[in-house]
Amino acid sequence: MSRNGLYKGGAALYVAAYVLAMVFPKKVPKDQLIANNFLKKLFQDLLYISGNIEIIGNIFLLIPIFVILVKLFARVHAAYALSMCILLSASAEFAQSFIPGRVSTIRDFVLNSIGAIFTFIIYQLYLKKSLQKIAA
């Protein structure tokens, strides 16, 4: 499989998981989960985490989208990828306000945006270093 095909497959899986996590219906109480259904329990636990893990997760959530946009579409400028990540975060939070069982918060949007901005800065530093190596 080519590298481009690998990026496309990874992008499709990540976007599908992102959309699924965003629109997943109301949380099922743990006592209603089937005890032997490990995957269902794991999926519920991952979707409804809280505390520090939730904060870290929100910061890192859009990093793969940024990387996918920059790597998969060679002509995409990093600033455009950053804009798309921030727009995606805003859209997700807006959509969640209409989905029963989901909560839309400014905090999630800010944390998602911080992660995207952090990735943009790291990418710009990487490009600068790469150009300095080429020039030397």
Asked if the model's pLDDT at residue 31 lies above 60, the reply is no
Asked if the model's pLDDT at residue 128 lies above 70, the reply is yes
Listed in sequence order, the residues at least 6 apart from 10 whose beta carbon sits closer than 8 Å to its beta carbon are 64, 68
- Mean pLDDT lowest for which of 30-34, 43-47, 108-112? 30-34
Q: What tokens does 21 get?
A: 């996590």
* DSSP-based helix, strand, coil % in the chain, nearest 5: 75, 0, 25
Asked if the model's pLDDT at residue 26 lies above 80, the reply is no
Angle subtended at Cα 115 by Cα 93 and Cα 110, rounded to the nearest 5 degrees: 40
pTM > 0.75: no
Number of domains the chain is built from: 1
* Percent of the chain at pLDDT exceeding 90: 23
pLDDT of residue 89: 93
Contact call for residues 61 and 108 (beta carbons, < 8 A) = no
pLDDT, tens digit, for every residue of 34-80?
Answer: 544 666 666 556 556 666 777 888 888 889 889 888 887 777 789 99
Domain holding 128, by residue range, is 3-135
